[in-house]
Amino acid sequence: MKVKKPTTPGQRGMITHDYSVLTKKKRERKLVKSLKVKAGRNKKGRITIRHRGGGEKRAYRKIDFGQEAMDIPAKVKSLEYDPNRSAFIMLLLYKNGEKRYRLSPEKIKLGDEVICKEDAQVKTGNRLKIKNIPVGTSIFNIEIIPGKGGKIVRSAGSYAQILSKEGTYANVVLPSKEIRKILQENYATVGIVSNPDHKTEVLGKAGKSRHRGKRPKVRGSAMNPVDHPHGGGEGRSPIGLKHPKTPTGKPAFGVKTRKKGKFSNRFIIRKRKSKKK
């Protein structure tokens, strides 16, 4: 990470990434497609997620989260920045001449060889079945349903650990400290997701948030009663007897939103620990 010198008000306290670890090259054109900005709107054009819109144009990198190239060794040709995610990505050149993007693990280097194979060697960057990964190993990009590709543990610096194996399932502790049963036939990548310092980044100014497509937020207590359940009152008023609400009047904090009869509840051994207020 780089700590900026306070030569301007915006750079005072700003902490940015040091991108010297990345390869200086343009994105792979065949693995890129255009990305339409929807600004938090649904198909009817109504805003369903507030505080989104604007920002720089982004091109979407097509990333192989699954097992699209099996049993073919590949070399890491480049390490690249992806504006659509917090982690870095790597461009792989397979022996058959094909190129693919994959999530980059921490401590991977240019020229390293990786492979996606059912019983591959347990080393950083290799993708294999959980049943062939030793207990205690750090993994990421984990499948939940066989053949559907990795769905969880994909953000910068995150990893899960295999605690034990029982029958057809493995007990895996996720970054949220939730312990979950996952089929041993599912695939996972060995290692830790790249860019673990992402959490220490300090934007320093509002403009950098706007470049990321984030719009300003206004407190509900600063609004009028017609605009928000917290609005109104003389001067600075507390929300009073009302519990914290969303603009539509639904409970904002302290209410469980997970469905009671959700099919995946039976796979959760220990729920994630709630944050202490």
Q: What is the pLDDT of residues 130-146, one digit of tens each?
A: 999 999 999 999 999 99
- DSSP letters, 33-102, are EE----TTB-TTS-BSSSSB------EEE-B--S-SSTT--EEEEEEE--TTSSS-EEEEEETTS-EEEE
pLDDT single digits (tens) 208-265: 999 999 999 999 999 999 999 999 888 888 887 778 998 988 888 888 888 888 999 9
pLDDT, tens digit, 9 for 90 and up, residues 86-97: 999 999 999 988
Answer yes or no: are the C-beta atoms of 49 and 40 closer than 8 Å.
yes
pTM over 0.85: yes
The C-alpha atoms of residue 16 and residue 200 are separated, in whole angstroms, by 9
Q: What is the DSSP string of 138-204?
A: EEESEESSTTS-EEES-STT--EEEEEEETTEEEEE-TTS-EEEEETTSEEEES-BS-GGGGG-B--
pLDDT in tens, 144-176: 999 899 999 999 999 999 999 999 999 999 999
pLDDT at 183 over 70: yes
